[in-house]
Amino acid sequence: MIANYGYKDGSGEFFISIDTAKCAQCEAKPCVEACPEKILVIFTDDYDDEVIGVKEEHRKKIKYSCGPCKPITEKRNLSCQKACPSGAIVHSW
Amino acid sequence: MITAGVDAGNKFTKVVIIRDGEVISRDQLPSGFDRRQSAFKAFKRALSTAGLNEDDVQKVMATGAGRSEVDFAGGTVTEVGAAARGSIHVIPESRTVIDVGAEEGRALKMDETGKVLNFTISDKCAAGAGSFIEMMSQALEITPEEMGSLSLQAVQTVPMNAQCAVFAESEVISLIHSRVPKADIARSVFNAMAGRISSLVRRVGLNKELAMIGGMAKNPGFVRELEKDLDTKIFLTENPDFVSALGAALIAAEKIS
Ligand code: SF4
Ligand code: SF4
């Protein structure tokens, strides 16, 4: 399942898309610890798979929550993507 | 087998009781401050309509934003999981579902069993949900229902800023002052909101088997604008606001068997 968390507003589209089928197979889930802002959370989905998602309180401000990883002037350094062995996290911006 | 689904939404709490997959009772109440109490009241009322006692119900599943507060439920399911399960039951041909309730709009794509493949939730602004229409109808001094039928008589659509409900309201007020007919304003509001919901649908992937549930599915003006924006026909069902509660009741039955 592809889970899209985020929003669109006047300044653009800000979604984190997670391929939860890959997360269900990923024992260690290193992305959760790797995220410096503690945005990601492990939970059991409706199909009894242990997957990750974006915490509720970050979904409507994700552009700002992820801001520290996405400086405008320097190279992006997305710890969640670097930690993920299977490319399961995609950012729309 | 008798099971129940409780959809504890931000504005209304809906309850559906089913026997062997058939709806035997439904009820709804405003969620209010105490969502647990509203849910229990609505459940009791649905039981009484069906002539049942609590003990007759083998399992209750809760869904909706307040699902964790429904402490008499034996389990919970996410809004998307319940919406998908309910939709495939009432509209078996549907594969993409738009769910627009009072506070949130969401879109999902599912397989033929109702398993969710892709979903988008959490749109940021009220301009993508039913409460936005309520606000706009107040500015027009009509009910949301009147706004829906009135918009079908419109002759033009005025482009509006739907990124923010507050900006949209001030635009509506200036259109009223410019003596733009109410019908045209109503259509413009639905058109702007349809644009926001369409972008959610496009994110999950549009296909022709598109269904809509949630309270806004009862608004013909909004459905028409959405159909125009997405350039496709939308499948509708009776009682669209109870589909997620039905989905939860169906999942409750599957958990037992
Ligand atoms: S590391 Fe990648 S696959 Fe593993 S849980 Fe995180 S996003 Fe999913
Ligand atoms: S971009 Fe940074 S803050 Fe955002 S989820 Fe990834 S690691 Fe966390």
Q: Which residues contact B108 (CB under 8 A, 6 or more apart)?
A: B80, B83, B84, B96, B97, B99, B116, B117, B118, B119, B120, B204
Contact B90, B246 (CB under 8 A): yes
Angle (CA) B127 B133 B136, round 5°: 95
Ligand 2 geometric centre to CA of A8 (Å): 18
Range of the domain at B17: 1-87+239-257
**Coil, strand or helix: which one is B247?**
helix
Ligand 1 geometric centre to CA of B240 (Å): 36
Q: Are residues B77 and B105 in the same domain?
A: no
Cβ of residue B178 closer than 8 Å to a chain A Cβ: no
Q: How far apart are CA B107 and CA B92, in angstroms?
A: 17
Q: Are residues B121 and B34 in the same domain?
A: no
Q: Are residues B105 and B41 in the same domain?
A: no
Dihedral, A51, A57, A60, A61 alpha carbons, nearest 10: -110
pLDDT in tens, A6-43: 988 878 889 999 999 999 999 999 999 999 999 999 99
Q: Are residues B102 and B76 in the same domain?
A: no
What ipTM was assigned to the predicted interfaces of this complex?
0.85
Cβ of residue B10 closer than 8 Å to a chain A Cβ: no
Residue B108 φ then ψ, to 5°: -145, 155
Q: What pLDDT sits at residue B162?
A: 59
Q: Are residues B97 and B116 in the same domain?
A: yes
A47 and B115 within 8 Å at the Cβ level: the answer is: yes
From the candidates A1, A15, A43, which should be mutated to test the interface with B, based on the most B CB atoms within 10 A?
A1
Cβ of residue B26 closer than 8 Å to a chain A Cβ: no
CATH class of residue range A2-91? alpha beta
Between strands A50-54 and A40-44, the pairing is antiparallel
Instruction: State the pTM of this model.
Output: 0.90
Write the DSSP symbol of residue B107. Answer: E
pLDDT in tens, B31-83: 999 999 999 999 999 999 999 999 999 999 999 999 999 999 999 999 999 99
- How many independent structural domains does chain B possess? 2
B196 and A8 within 8 Å at the Cβ level: the answer is: yes
Q: How far apart are CA B152 and CA B186, in angstroms?
A: 9
Q: Are residues B232 and B243 in the same domain?
A: no
Kindly give the parts of chain B with pLDDT less than 50: none
Q: How far apart are CA B46 and CA A7, in angstroms?
A: 36
pLDDT in tens, A59-74: 989 999 999 998 877 7
Q: Are residues B130 and B220 in the same domain?
A: yes
CATH label of the domain that carries residue B244: 3.30.420.40
CA proximity to B229, closest of B200, B205, B194:
B194
Ligand 1 geometric centre to CA of A26 (Å): 6
